[in-house]
């Protein structure tokens, strides 16, 4: 109750959910003693793959007995997920105490919720100056609250594509502008660029960071991977090759995220050994990112069929999901709910050979698009219908033995799935 009350107070400090500026968080962090200047951070920017890359790096670092603090957003089930210190998620009481301290120091000054949360993370992280901090930036990096660091160990540039266009002026809703927002303010340290899904994006990134003096590594130029037979993949960079077991996460695209994490950690010379990587990639905790649900109430509804949940919500996310689905020889069914500001028609256009498609409402999300409206937008899709709830949607699908059911379209929908299960 205390935690929820404080979060409600945070929401009253600014009329907007997002207001792109660095002034407010800089002012608060100055009152806090500029804790962001006292930490060792790896910054992670991009559109897709940020959380997955962080979780891969985190799993490897833990195997090497390196203490970490981890800051991600949004959370899937509870806000505690965003606050990991010394390899432990804060419990409700610890998080409430942290929020209360920073709230008192802020003294009711105008500031957004995300800025408050970010300041809270920096404040707590500074208490562990030797820890590695894995920091996921929010909407756009240039004016994101996480971008008040003066130094960092490295910046990871994950896959960049069109998303959150409504936060840009109409005349700047371009790929070039998105790349500029995400990469133009990267610090001078190490920049590791993950696989990009078209040449235009990669060239935009290279052009934007051309004058940045960082050590730069690019996927397929400085590090790469190849899938081999007999259940392993081969990773290679300037330090040599590694024969690695396939990880405990689904989808070939996850090997791209894992490779980016490996390249970063090996570049930083943190004492990471092959066995740390081998063991770490078998223990990645990737909530709602092509996650298979193996037990629970919703799993009981689908019986022996495969149930997957994935919070992907933009076209590039849909593309890699479909690549995974196409690798499987079975009937595929999709339940989808989305936020109103997403590219709905483009998202669904990537899914091929779907046996049935069910749109749903996302509970308690005022910015979600109605499942009925979404159904109308998908009118060119065959075998489509609307159901009000996730459970009703699952029950409405005629699953045969060996079928697969994917629930996707939003991290908020994925969170509801995991709560229901």
181-190 burial: b if 16+ Cβ within 10 Å, else e = bbbebbbebb
Bridge-partner residues for 309, per DSSP? 291, 407
Question: Any idea which residue has 């994101």 for tokens?
Answer: 144
**pLDDT digit string, tens, across residues 28-39:** 999 999 999 999
pLDDT of residue 104: 97
Overall average pLDDT of the 64-74 stretch: 97
Confidence label for 168 from pLDDT (cuts 50, 70 and 90): confident
Report the pLDDT averaged over residues 94-99.
Answer: 98
Which residue, chain included where needed, has tokens 């007999």? 230
CA–CA separation, 5 and 51 (whole Å)? 28
Residue 170 has pLDDT above 90, yes or no: no
Quick one: three-class SS letters along 254-320?
A: HHHHHHHHHHHHHHCCCCCCHHHHHHHCCCCCCCCCCEECCCCHHHHHHCCCEEEEECCCCHHHHHH
- pLDDT at position 239: 97
Q: What is the pLDDT of residues 137-160, one digit of tens each?
A: 987 788 899 999 999 999 999 999
Which residues lie closer than 8 Å to 100 by C-beta, 6 or more apart?
2, 6
> What is the Cα–Cα distance from 332 to 90, expressed in whole angstroms?
38
Q: Are 287 and 262 in contact (CB under 8 A)?
A: no
- Predicted pLDDT at 20: 79
Q: According to the model, what pLDDT value does residue 405 have?
A: 98
pLDDT(179) > 90: yes
44-53 mean pLDDT: 96
pLDDT on residue 410: 97
73 C-beta neighbours (distance < 10 Å), count: 20
Confidence of residue 16 (pLDDT cuts 50, 70, 90): confident
Domains and CATH numbers, the chain: 2-280 (3.40.1190.10), 291-420 (3.90.190.20)
How far is 7 from 407, CA to CA, in rounded Å?
Answer: 29
pLDDT of residue 14: 87
State yes or no: pLDDT of 224 exceeds 90: yes
Predicted local distance difference test score (pLDDT) of residue 163: 73
Token pair listed for 13: 């400090």
pLDDT digits (tens, 9 = 90+) for 357-402: 999 999 999 999 999 999 999 988 989 999 999 999 999 999 999 9
pTM: 0.95
Number of residues in the chain: 421
Distance CA 174, CA 71 (A): 28
């Amino acid at each position: 109750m205390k935690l929820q009350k404080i979060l409600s107070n945070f929401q009253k400090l600014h009329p907007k959910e997002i207001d792109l500026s660095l002034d407010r968080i800089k002012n608060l962090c100055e009152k806090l003693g500029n804790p962001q200047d006292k930490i060792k951070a790896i910054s992670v920017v991009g559109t897709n793959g940020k959380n997955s890359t962080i979780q891969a790096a985190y799993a490897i670092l833990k195997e090497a007995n390196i203490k970490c603090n981890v800051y991600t957003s949004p959370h899937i089930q509870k806000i505690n997920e965003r606050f990991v210190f010394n390899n432990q998620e804060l419990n409700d009481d610890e998080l409430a105490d942290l929020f209360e301290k920073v709230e008192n120091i802020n003294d009711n000054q105008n500031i957004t919720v995300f800025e408050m949360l970010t300041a809270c993370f920096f404040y707590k992280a500074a208490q562990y100056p030797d820890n590695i901090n894995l920091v996921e930036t929010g909407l756009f990096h240039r004016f994101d609250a996480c971008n008040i660091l003066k130094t960092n160990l490295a910046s990871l540039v994950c896959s960049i594509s069109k998303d959150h266009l409504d936060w840009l002026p109409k005349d700047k809703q371009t790929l070039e502008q998105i790349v500029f927002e995400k990469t133009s303010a990267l610090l001078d340290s190490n920049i590791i660029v993950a696989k990009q899904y078209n040449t235009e994006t990669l060239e935009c990134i290279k052009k934007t960071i051309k004058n940045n003096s960082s050590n730069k590594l690019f996927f397929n130029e400085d590090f790469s991977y190849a899938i081999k037979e007999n259940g392993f993949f081969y990773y290679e960079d300037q330090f040599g090759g590694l024969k690695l077991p396939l990880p405990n996460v689904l989808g070939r695209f996850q090997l791209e995220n894992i490779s980016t994490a490996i390249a970063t950690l090996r570049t930083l010379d943190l004492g990471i050994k092959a066995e740390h990587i081998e063991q770490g990639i078998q223990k990645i905790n990737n909530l709602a990112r092509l996650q298979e649900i193996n037990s629970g109430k919703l799993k009981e509804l689908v019986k022996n069929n495969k149930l997957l949940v994935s919070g992907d919500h933009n076209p590039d996310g849909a593309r890699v999901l479909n690549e995974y689905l196409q690798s499987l020889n079975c009937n595929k069914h999709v339940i989808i709910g989305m936020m109103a500001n997403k590219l709905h028609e483009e998202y669904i256009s990537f899914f091929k050979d779907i046996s049935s498609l069910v749109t749903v409402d996302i509970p308690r999300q005022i910015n979600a698009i109605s499942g009925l409206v979404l159904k109308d937008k998908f009118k060119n899709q065959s075998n489509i219908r609307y159901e009000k709830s996730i459970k009703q949607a699952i029950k409405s699908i005629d699953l045969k033995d060996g079928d697969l059911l994917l629930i996707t379209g939003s991290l908020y929908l994925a969170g509801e799935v995991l709560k229901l299960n």
